[in-house]
């Protein structure tokens, strides 16, 4: 019985989704036929329409458009602050706030900030990026020498660039204590930088990034992670898709790694308005 009800709901949903298009189509047909006459044979178009049929058709078109916007509005769900999801041993919270303003920091926390495979670029000076906003607030004095120091840190970790320029996608770099603000700071190469072509990422890179992050922090006594939405912005993913993908990857990889007890994803207020949160129903 439950299966029949679910199937009925599915059919009803599909019918409602197509209904506005069907109503508009009927309206257009009616408007078209209003300019036809069958008096002494079929004639189209006529100079003067059959006004009853014409107005009937216009009414259908308007009604179809109203239905379309009403049903579209219902399909869009606003993202709410402090939305909480629980899976495996992880509690994930979506916060509508700026990641650089995170509070209640402890030694078992870590900020996860996206970079690209060159690691050395101007993002650290760009307040529109999570990396730039974080460093401009907490480490503004370190910005002028940051790129040079970052090269030395990468080298000390035994990480070598390919052809002297790019590091492997999904590389995870835990910065030294001098960059911590009680919580640790971790950079992840979640997008690929191609010279002259800009940045890009894909689901495989994001998934490997989360896997590598959890793997390399398994023995670091880190149980709380702060993320921005990884993959959107310069990397090219649509923001709703990027948030959905990030949550899915965290859920999937937290099955193997049990130390991520608390994960917070920070969404800037202006970005939250662009997100259709309906996908959260599947978690």
At 118-151, the pLDDT tens digits run: 887 667 878 888 999 999 999 999 888 888 888 8
CA–CA distances in Å: residue 156 to residues 116, 178, 235, 245: 19, 15, 27, 32
Do residues 166 and 115 make contact, with C-beta atoms less than 8 angstroms apart? Answer: no
Please state the domain extents for the chain.
2-75, 83-282
CA–CA distances in Å: residue 238 to residues 193, 231, 243: 18, 8, 9
How many angstroms from the chain centroid is the CA of residue 138?
Answer: 26
The whole-number pLDDT of residue 134 equals 94
How many angstroms from the chain centroid is the CA of residue 256?
Answer: 24
The whole-number pLDDT of residue 283 equals 83
| More reliable by pLDDT, 207 or 41 | 207
Phi, psi of 25 (to 5 degrees): -60, -45
Q: Beta-strand (E) ranges in the chain? A: 83-87, 90-96, 109-116, 172-174, 184-194, 198-200, 224-227, 262-267
The whole-number pLDDT of residue 19 equals 86
Determine the topology of domain 83-282 in CATH.
3.40.220
Please report, rounded to a whole number, the percentage of residues in the chain having pLDDT higher than 90: 53
**Is the pLDDT assigned to residue 197 strictly greater than 70?**
no
**Is the pLDDT assigned to residue 54 strictly greater than 70?**
yes
Dist. CA 90–CA 227, nearest whole Å: 14
Phi, psi of 129 (to 5 degrees): -100, 155
Confidence category of residue 29, pLDDT binned at 50, 70, 90? very high
How many angstroms from the chain centroid is the CA of residue 202?
Answer: 12
Q: How many residues does the chain have?
A: 283
Confidence category of residue 72, pLDDT binned at 50, 70, 90? low
**Is the pLDDT assigned to residue 20 strictly greater than 90?**
no
The whole-number pLDDT of residue 15 equals 73
Confidence category of residue 2, pLDDT binned at 50, 70, 90? low
**Is the pLDDT assigned to residue 1 strictly greater than 60?**
no
| More reliable by pLDDT, 241 or 47 | 241
Confidence category of residue 8, pLDDT binned at 50, 70, 90? low
CA–CA distances in Å: residue 91 to residues 172, 212, 251: 22, 20, 10
- The 10s digit of each residue's pLDDT in 239-269 is 999 999 999 999 999 999 989 999 999 999 9
| Least confident among 99-113, 150-164, 209-223 | 150-164
Mean pLDDT score of the chain: 88
The whole-number pLDDT of residue 18 equals 84
The whole-number pLDDT of residue 267 equals 97
Phi, psi of 222 (to 5 degrees): -110, 125
Q: Say what the pTM is.
A: 0.74
What integer is the mean pLDDT of 219-241?
91
Q: Which of 15-24, 33-42, 174-183 has the highest mean pLDDT?
A: 174-183
**Is the pLDDT assigned to residue 45 strictly greater than 70?**
yes
What integer is the mean pLDDT of 74-103?
91
């Amino acid at each position: 019985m439950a299966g029949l009800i679910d199937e009925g709901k599915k059919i009803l949903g599909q019918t409602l989704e197509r209904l506005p298009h069907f109503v508009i189509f009927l309206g257009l047909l009616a408007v078209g036929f209003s300019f036809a006459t069958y008096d002494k044979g079929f004639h189209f178009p006529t100079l003067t329409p059959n006004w009853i049929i014409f107005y009937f058709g216009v009414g259908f078109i308007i009604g179809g458009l109203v239905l379309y916007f009403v049903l579209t509005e219902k399909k869009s769900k606003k993202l709410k602050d402090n939305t909480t999801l629980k899976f495996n041993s992880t509690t994930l919270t979506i916060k509508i706030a700026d990641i650089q303003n995170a509070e209640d920091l402890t030694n078992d926390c870590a900020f996860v900030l996206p970079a690209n495979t060159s690691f050395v670029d101007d993002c650290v000076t760009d307040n529109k990026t999570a990396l730039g906003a974080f460093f401009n607030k907490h480490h503004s004095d370190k910005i002028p020498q940051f790129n040079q120091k970052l090269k030395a840190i990468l080298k000390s970790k035994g990480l070598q660039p390919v052809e002297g320029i790019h590091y492997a996608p999904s590389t995870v770099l835990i910065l030294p204590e001098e960059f911590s603000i009680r919580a640790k700071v971790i950079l992840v190469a979640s997008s690929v930088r191609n010279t002259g072509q800009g940045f890009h990422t894909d689901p495989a890179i994001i998934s490997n990034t989360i896997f590598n992050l959890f793997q390399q922090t398994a023995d670091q006594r880190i149980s709380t992670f702060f993320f921005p939405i990884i993959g959107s912005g310069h990397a090219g993913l649509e923001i709703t898709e990027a948030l959905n993908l990030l949550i899915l990857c965290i859920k999937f990889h937290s099955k193997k790694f049990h130390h991520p007890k608390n994960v917070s994803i920070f969404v800037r207020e202006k970005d939250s308005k662009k997100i259709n949160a309906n996908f959260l129903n599947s978690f």
